[in-house]
Amino acid sequence: MTRRALDLLGGAICLLLAIVLLVVGLKANSLGDFAHDNVRQNLEEQKIFFPKESELQAAERSTDVVKNAGKQVLTGSQAEAYANDFIAVHLSHIAGGKTYSEVSAAAQADPTDTKLAGQAQTLFRGETLRGLLLEAYAFGKMGDEASAIAPWLLGGAVLLALLGLGGLLHAFTHADRHRVGDTGTTAI
């Protein structure tokens, strides 16, 4: 194989890989933007606010809740804090820390117990909201990851494009057509 053929092949492969990385990088950036916009829009519509710091009880005073005190829940990380450090605290005080499924089973076994039925309903609502907020967190986290990897992919695309163009430039500007590996010849 001549040096020119090797330069052409290497340059073409680099350019092809650059195109692939460019497309994947742009898609990752787009998906990151979509995830962040979607999370924000859906959370904004729910109008969930952290209590003001002066209103927080001792059990609610996690670092993330205090940091977000008085703010509206608009990001995935805020949704996680609200779900795990605020709602979960309140749910743990209902029915001695039992879950909805445990309390619901007990309420179904004793349909006359209105206290259990009320606890089951409260736990269902709280655990559902907590689950939805944790889904928003997960979606936001995926958006964070996509946004974080996009610049690396785009940078790799630029690097490969430069290498590919360099290989093609070398192939067309150097007259050396010796076979790579021939003894006594110098490949440029």
pLDDT digit string, tens, across residues 131-178: 999 999 999 999 999 999 999 999 999 999 999 999 999 888 875 555
pLDDT digit string, tens, across residues 80-97: 999 999 999 999 999 888
Residue tagged 């927080």 (tokens): 56
pLDDT, position 48: 96
pLDDT digit string, tens, across residues 20-72: 999 999 999 999 999 999 999 999 999 999 999 999 999 899 999 999 999 99
Q: Are 113 and 107 in contact, with CB atoms under 8 Å apart? A: yes
Q: Are 180 and 187 in contact, with CB atoms under 8 Å apart? A: yes
Number of neighbouring beta carbons within 10 Å of residue 34? 13
CA–CA separation, 141 and 144 (whole Å): 5
DSSP character string of the chain: -BHHHHHHHHHHHHHHHHHHHHHHHHHHHHHHHHHHHHHHHHHHHHT-BPPPGGG--GGG--HHHHHTTT-B--SHHHHHHHIIIIIHHHHHTSGGG--HHHHHHHHHH-TT-HHHHHHHHHHHHHHHHHHHHHHHHHHHHHHHHHHHHHHHHHHHHHHHHHHHHHHHHHHHH----PBTT-TT----
pTM over 0.85: no
Number of neighbouring beta carbons within 10 Å of residue 84? 17
